[in-house]
């Protein structure tokens, strides 16, 4: 679950970076108030009404006709500042030791159960002084 969440967050951040740096252009062709064509990154195709009006004559084209093109452009970022900090050796040692000790808190410890039922008990060492009844007085 943690890996899936990390991968989805990484992909979403990469897409956010990509979408913020690209310039977007959306163009719509309207005919009689209705949207007939929408184009991304390109010009929208017209409905052919202007070609029909051109056949009727130039005087009709001068008046307001029913077709219109709307365009929306969103400029992306052209300059990205990549500030990579430089650390000296003591700061690097501190960061590495801190992260390894912090991540070590979340690692699960595996306890091994030692089963002694299958092994014979060790031989008990006998006290030779008592066994031979040899005492110092």
The dihedrals phi and psi of 6, each to the nearest 5 degrees, come to -65, -45
List per-residue pLDDT tens for the chain, 137 residues long: 889 999 999 999 999 988 888 888 889 888 877 888 888 877 777 777 766 666 766 554 545 567 888 888 888 777 767 777 788 999 999 999 999 999 988 888 788 777 767 777 677 788 888 888 888 87
Determine the 3-state secondary structure of 71 from DSSP.
strand
Contact (CB, 8 A) for 70 and 43: no
Which whole-number Å values give the CA distances from 97 to 18, 91, 93, 105, 108, in the listed order? 34, 10, 6, 13, 19
Per-residue confidence (pLDDT) for residue 109, from 0 to 100: 79
Per-residue confidence (pLDDT) for residue 135, from 0 to 100: 80
The residues with which 27 forms a beta bridge, in sequence order, are 39, 71
Contact (CB, 8 A) for 31 and 67: yes
Determine the 3-state secondary structure of 45 from DSSP.
coil
Per-residue confidence (pLDDT) for residue 13, from 0 to 100: 94
Distance between CA atoms of 49 and 56, rounded to whole angstroms? 11
Per-residue confidence (pLDDT) for residue 112, from 0 to 100: 79
């Amino acid at each position: 679950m943690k890996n899936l969440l990390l991968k989805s967050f990484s992909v979403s951040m990469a897409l956010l970076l990509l979408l913020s740096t690209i310039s977007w252009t959306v163009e719509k062709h309207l005919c009689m108030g209705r949207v007939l064509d929408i184009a991304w990154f390109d010009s929208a195709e017209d409905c052919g009404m202007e070609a029909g009006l051109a056949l009727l004559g130039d005087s009709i084209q001068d008046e307001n006709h029913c077709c219109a093109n709307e365009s929306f452009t969103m400029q992306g970022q052209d300059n990205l500042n990549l500030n990579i900090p430089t650390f000296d050796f003591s700061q690097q040692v501190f960061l590495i030791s801190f992260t390894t000790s912090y991540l070590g808190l979340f690692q699960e410890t595996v306890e091994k159960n030692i089963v002694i039922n299958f092994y014979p008990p060790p031989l008990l060492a006998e006290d030779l002084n008592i066994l031979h009844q040899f005492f110092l007085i």
